Amino acid sequence: MKNKKLGLNTICTHVGETPDEQFKGAISPIYLSTSYEYIDVDVKRYPRYFNTPNQEYLCKKIAALEHAEAAMIFGSGMAAISTTLLAFLKSGDHIVVQNDIYGGTRNLMEAHFANYNIEFTFTDGLNVLDFEKVIQSNTKMIYIETPSNPLLKLVDMEAIAKLAKSRNLLSAIDNTFASPVIQNPVDFGIDIVIHSATKYFGGHSDICAGAVASTQENMDIIWNIAKNLGGSLSDFTVWMLERSMKTLGLRVKAQQRNARKIAKYLNKNESVSKVYYPGLKDHPSHDIAKKQMKGYGAMMSFELNEGINTKDFLNALKLIKPSMSLAGVESTMLQPSEASHALLTPEDRADQGISDNLIRFSVGIENRKDLLKDIEQALATVKTTGSLVNS
């Protein structure tokens, strides 16, 4: 199906269905074959060539959602990220990187890039000037992640894309936290869009996958090394991912509706000292959010008052699960200093503004009143049991 004028939910449901010529079933058949005929065929298919039928077709859905020419699916978000970076960065190259990016991406750079003689500089801030001032003569790419994890900091995508173009650099974004439902970086001139499909694309906390979308020309360059690095996804999981993505638009919008109201509730709650959500008027990048996001997403973070023990609060929750990952239909919370950002040094965490009592909240699709009740009962429990930090 051509996708030019189709609406979001139609793209989610129908674009990139694998044809079932034989039986005309209502859904995509699954092709688990790892071996395909090679004589007189246009495409020599093999799972690690990223071109089995289910992979090939689902990529069309992802490209359509990201307004890109082409896309690829990977075995994890990190496979998508590492393959993309290694496709464009060679020995002697340099990359400018937003300071507070996903911990795994940062760890990849800090632990391994020196071995490949690839240089990187993390910016001091999020303004376009913070990026511009660290560009070197050997810089090849600017890498951003907006909204960022876990503080929901925003970077102006249009300004970054302009800067990159003016200096003949590639721009890449990790769009995981927003999802294509909330923002489409290609529309602002960003070259390469990366996703951990483990998050909103999968949406049910049962799939680990990644995706990249860009021009056909860029995707050819990525494919050229991807087939050797070998981070492809099993076709069974590709098929599961297609099923999940049919409801991507519905899910993310429902999650976002909950998040907007819950952010306002937390912002007024006397036990909460700070809320980080781009939809709040006092968020430092609220104006950028209005310009580049369709809504404000379903991720937020908050800090409880000094006296309240964060871990005890999380343990007192009955419905919301303290859980490592995010973006599932179920609401989850996590303490970054103990989980997602535990591998960073305390200095790096402090540098990024991640306090030890920060809680990241991935808002799900449950009924909002049940989520609010759960937060209220957990706060009441920690207060009455007097589990004070300093006690």
Ligand X SMILES: *Cc1c(COP(=O)(O)O)cnc(C)c1O
Residue 336 binding ligand X, by CB under 6 A:
no
- Which residues, including other chains, have CB under 8 Å from residue 255's CB and lie 6 or more apart? 298, 329, 363, 364, 365
Order of strands, sheet of 299-304, starting from the edge strand that comes earlier in the sequence: 272-276, 299-304, 358-362, 332-334, 321-322
Residue nearest to ligand X (CB): 77
State the amino acid at position 49 in one-letter form: Y
DSSP label at residue 308: B
CB of 9 to ligand X, least distance (A): 24
Q: CA–CA distance from 166 to each of 89, 161, 292 (Å)?
A: 19, 9, 21
Q: Which is nearer to ligand X, 13 or 255 (CB)?
A: 255
Query: What character string, x for contact with ligand X (CB under 6 A) and - otherwise, covers 234-273?
Result: ----------------------------------------
> In the annotation, is 291 catalytic?
no
> In the annotation, is 199 catalytic?
yes
> In the annotation, is 48 catalytic?
yes
Chain position carrying tokens 């306090």: 355
Question: 10 Å Cβ neighbour count for 323?
Answer: 16
| Torsion sign over Cα 301, 307, 311, 317 | negative
Q: How many residues bind ligand X (CB under 6 A)?
A: 15
> Which one of residues 78, 97, 226, 300 is an interface residue with ligand X (CB under 6 A)?
78
Residue 300 binding ligand X, by CB under 6 A:
no
> Which one of residues 9, 10, 76, 273 is an interface residue with ligand X (CB under 6 A)?
76
> Which one of residues 18, 99, 196, 352 is an interface residue with ligand X (CB under 6 A)?
196
**Considering only CA atoms, which of 192, 231, 232, 240 is closest in space to residue 212?**
192
164-183: which residues touch ligand X (CB under 6 A)?
174, 176-177
Q: Which is nearer to ligand X, 149 or 184 (CB)?
A: 149
202-231: which residues touch ligand X (CB under 6 A)?
208, 210
CB of 75 to ligand X, least distance (A): 8
> Which one of residues 104, 189, 307, 322 is an interface residue with ligand X (CB under 6 A)?
104
> Which one of residues 198, 271, 292, 309 is an interface residue with ligand X (CB under 6 A)?
198
Residue 199 binding ligand X, by CB under 6 A:
yes
Q: Which is nearer to ligand X, 104 or 307 (CB)?
A: 104
> In the annotation, is 156 catalytic?
no
> Which one of residues 16, 47, 53, 77 is an interface residue with ligand X (CB under 6 A)?
77
Q: Is there a contact between 106 and 226 (Cβ–Cβ < 8 Å)? A: no
Q: Which is nearer to ligand X, 118 or 173 (CB)?
A: 173
Catalytic, out of 93, 100, 156, 174: 174
State the amino acid at position 34 in one-letter form: T
Helices 77-88 and 216-229 pack at an angle, to 10 degrees, of: 110
129-168: which residues touch ligand X (CB under 6 A)?
145, 149
CA distance 244 to 251: 10
DSSP label at residue 294: S
Q: Which is nearer to ligand X, 210 or 364 (CB)?
A: 210
CA distance 364 to 333: 10
Query: What character string, x for contact with ligand X (CB under 6 A) and - otherwise, covers 278-297?
Result: --------------------
Q: Which is nearer to ligand X, 72 or 378 (CB)?
A: 72
Structure tokens belonging to residue 16: 């990139």
Question: 10 Å Cβ neighbour count for 73?
Answer: 28
Q: Where are the beta strands (DSSP E) in the chain?
A: 70-74, 94-97, 119-122, 139-145, 170-174, 192-196, 210-214, 272-276, 299-304, 321-322, 332-334, 358-362
Q: Which is nearer to ligand X, 152 or 379 (CB)?
A: 152
Contacts to ligand X by CB under 6 A: 76-78, 102, 104, 145, 149, 174, 176-177, 196, 198-199, 208, 210
What are the residue numbers of the active site? 48, 102, 174, 199
